[in-house]
Amino acid sequence: MNIIFTRSFMNLRMGGVTIYVKQLIKHLDDTEFSIINLVGLEKKRFLNAVELVNWSNVSIKRDLFLFFITFPFKIIKHRADVVHLNPSLEVKGLFRDGFFLLIGKLFNLKSVVFIHGWNEKTASKIKSCHLFSTIFKMIYNRSDIIVVLANEFKHSLREIGLKTKIIVETTMVDDEMVPIKNVYNKCISSNHSNKINILFLARIERSKGIYEAIDTFVILRQKYSNIRLIVAGDGNDLSEVKKYVDSIGSHGIDFIGYISGKTKEAVLLNSDIYLFPTTYGEGMPISLLEAMALGNAVITRYVGGIPDIFINGKNGFITDSKSPDVYARLIEKMILDQSLLRRIGMNNFNYAQEYFFASKVTKRIESIYLDL
């Protein structure tokens, strides 16, 4: 089966879509599926790419323009069977991939539309604007299957008027970033008496809950001197957040910047609790699944696709609250009960292996292709 992917550029920081596509292509069965084109990057070049590129790069713009022009010819030349689209729910992305979808249908291609990012403002605009809604339905009802990352997104698309098949899937964790033996040992034998590391790993922006995470830590630090907050990531609010930490004079908070690869693996392995009090319109955050895969308990909120994969008390604790006092009480339960912390870590480790490893998610996507 020959599959065309239409969005796979590496951005300055590899975002969720790029990571997902890279892992999917890496794990697809080469004897069953052939990748035709990656918007200018052939499979081997894409998978082995080390240097990160920027959209301002002239060659990137050229490759994208050429892909638009040559798309129909590539379908014919490579005898494509499926076009796999990866838009976010943003106006430009929807129109861009809508073009690819319609061209593919002219050539009788089957289509998979995987909507990764979700923008509630765009969803509301589609619902409220008759013209936009009509165009959206005219285009995307032609898809054979639409994949989303949350049941609430599926419900929203039904409200808009999409009649095509819609399923809920997850993002994925790179199998190779999880040292199975080390994580297992962490989950069964970690001693948290001397130190507990709380990790915030996300873009450093207010909507991701960074201020709530810091305030939660400050509350806990008053009672427990053995805890540490690790802040990993960069973002627009980083300098202001550092100023805030300086102004409250809190100790035990370490800013380690953007992390990836082996550094990310080591940080996740040496953490105990992943604190993610987000208010952002999340799909299925890869960082949360990675934290689970490396044996961390999770404290988070009912946002996006998170509730679909989370059982309160089994994977950690999930709440509607935005209060640092609430988060602090939930974390304190695990500080005071090491067996609970280890048990939750093991639950998450086993759960991630079964459902979120890239090799497992890819098998589910392969089944989607074969059922088209």
Residue-wise pLDDT for 311-323, tens only, equals 999 999 999 999 9
For 301: left if phi > 0, alpha if psi spans -120 to 50, otherwise beta; the answer is beta
Examine the domain organization and report whether 196 and 330 are in the same domain: yes
Whole-number pLDDT of residue 64: 65
Angle CA(342)–CA(252)–CA(249) in degrees, nearest 5?
145
Examine the domain organization and report whether 155 and 184 are in the same domain: no
Residue 21 reports pLDDT greater than 80: yes
Examine the domain organization and report whether 258 and 319 are in the same domain: yes
Q: Categorize the per-residue pLDDT at 55 as very low, low, confident or very high, splitting at 50, 70 and 90.
A: very low
CATH number at 251 reads 3.40.50.2000
Sign of the CA dihedral 109, 115, 121, 123?
positive
- Cα gap 102→333, rounded to integer Å: 53
Q: Categorize the per-residue pLDDT at 57 as very low, low, confident or very high, splitting at 50, 70 and 90.
A: low
Q: Which of 19-23, 85-89, 116-120, 218-222 has the highest mean pLDDT?
A: 218-222
Of 46, 50, 51, 143, whose CA–CA distance to 101 is shortest? 143
Pairing mode, strands 253-257 and 227-232: parallel
Examine the domain organization and report whether 166 and 240 are in the same domain: no
Examine the domain organization and report whether 365 and 332 are in the same domain: no
Whole-number pLDDT of residue 18: 76
Residue 65 reports pLDDT greater than 90: no
Residue 308 reports pLDDT greater than 70: yes
Type of residue at 23: Q
Residue 154 DSSP SS3:
helix
Examine the domain organization and report whether 157 and 196 are in the same domain: no
CB 277 within 8 A of CB 316: no
Examine the domain organization and report whether 229 and 312 are in the same domain: yes
Domain that holds residue 29: 2-172+358-371
Question: Could you identify the residue written with the tokens 């998979």?
Answer: 112
The alpha carbon of residue 61 and the mean position of all alpha carbons in its chain are separated, in whole angstroms, by: 25
Residue range 327-349, pLDDT digits in tens? 999 999 999 999 999 999 999 99
Examine the domain organization and report whether 166 and 278 are in the same domain: no
> What's this model's pTM, rounded to 2 decimal places?
0.89
Examine the domain organization and report whether 251 and 328 are in the same domain: yes
Examine the domain organization and report whether 187 and 166 are in the same domain: no
Of 173, 116, 122, 124, whose CA–CA distance to 148 is shortest? 116
Looking at per-residue pLDDT, the higher value among 66 and 216 belongs to 216
Q: What mean pLDDT is predicted for residues 125-142?
A: 96
Q: What mean pLDDT is predicted for residues 96-124?
A: 93
Examine the domain organization and report whether 115 and 149 are in the same domain: yes
* Structural domains of the chain, count: 2
Residue 98 reports pLDDT greater than 60: yes
- Cα gap 203→211, rounded to integer Å: 12
Residue 13 reports pLDDT greater than 70: no
CB 197 within 8 A of CB 226: no
Question: Could you identify the residue written with the tokens 């490893």?
Answer: 357
